[in-house]
């Protein structure tokens, strides 16, 4: 029988996309108030793998990822998703969202994203929020599943998540040294 133990803390990551890149700074400020300092900001990526959001957000969307210096308990992912949904509502104009905020986390073995939508490959977390293992880490690289969104499966995103994982692994090592 396996021993029950608490999970390791994980690296909070939030994907943001918008047609108004000035909103990135506003969102980063608000999220930092909730989850502490941001320790990584990705380059801006064109959000061009789907037109699913065009009716709501318009075209020429840009995406940026941020991570936070403070590691979190993965049990908090659902409440973080609820908080990002509330932040999105702060910037609604004419009944449409102007920015999309999608939280998730990186662990040593995976990238998990939060969603309000159920699907066969998602598990229920709590409060109407589901978790999806979007990428898995094997043989020193992140890899996509058949259900992984095409942009998350792209080489630039995979490289980014490997950088995030490396930063996270360094944080875990530092925490282990400081508790000795």
Tell me, what's the pLDDT at 180? Answer: 67
Reported as a pLDDT band with limits 50, 70 and 90, residue 179 is confident
The total number of structural domains in the chain stands at 1
Separation between Cα atoms, residue 6 and residue 46, nearest integer Å? 38
Which ranges of 76-154 does DSSP label H, i.e. alpha helix?
77-90
Reported as a single tens digit per residue, the pLDDT across 32-84 is 999 999 999 999 999 887 888 888 888 899 999 999 999 999 999 999 999 99
Reported as a single tens digit per residue, the pLDDT across 149-163 is 999 999 999 999 999
Residue 6 lies in a domain: no
Separation between Cα atoms, residue 19 and residue 55, nearest integer Å? 12
Helical (H) or strand (E) element with 16:
strand 11-18
Sign of CA dihedral 119, 161, 109, 179: negative
Residue 54 lies in a domain: yes
Reported as a single tens digit per residue, the pLDDT across 111-136 is 999 999 999 999 999 999 999 999 99
Residue 2 lies in a domain: no
Q: Using an 8 Å Cβ cutoff, are 158 and 137 in contact?
A: no
Reported as a single tens digit per residue, the pLDDT across 1-20 is 999 999 999 999 999 999 99
The domain in which residue 106 lies consists of 11-178
Is the pLDDT confidence value at 23 over 90?
yes
Tell me, what's the pLDDT at 129? Answer: 98
Q: Using an 8 Å Cβ cutoff, are 136 and 143 in contact?
A: yes
What is the number of other CB atoms lying within 10 angstroms of the CB of residue 134?
Answer: 22
Residue 4 lies in a domain: no
Instruction: Collect all residues with Cβ–Cβ distance below 8 Å to 53 and sequence separation of at least 6.
Output: 17, 47, 61, 100
């Amino acid at each position: 029988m396996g021993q029950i133990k608490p999970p390791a803390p994980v690296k909070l990551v939030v994907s943001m996309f918008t047609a108004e890149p000035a909103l990135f700074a506003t969102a980063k400020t608000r999220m930092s108030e909730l989850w502490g300092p941001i320790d990584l900001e990705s380059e801006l990526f064109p959000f061009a793998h789907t037109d699913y959001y065009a009716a709501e957000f318009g075209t020429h969307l840009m995406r940026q990822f941020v991570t936070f210096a403070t590691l979190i308990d993965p049990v908090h992912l659902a409440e973080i998703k609820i908080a990002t949904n509330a932040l999105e509502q702060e910037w609604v104009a004419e009944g449409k969202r102007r920015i999309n905020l999608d939280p998730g986390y990186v662990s040593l073995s995976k990238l998990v994203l939060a969603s309000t939508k159920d699907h066969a490959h998602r598990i229920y977390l709590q409060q109407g929020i589901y978790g999806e293992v979007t990428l898995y880490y094997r043989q020193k690289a992140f890899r996509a599943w058949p259900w992984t969104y095409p942009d998350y499966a792209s080489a630039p995103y995979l490289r980014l998540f490997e950088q995030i994982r490396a930063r996270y692994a360094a944080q875990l090592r530092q925490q282990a040294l400081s508790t000795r």
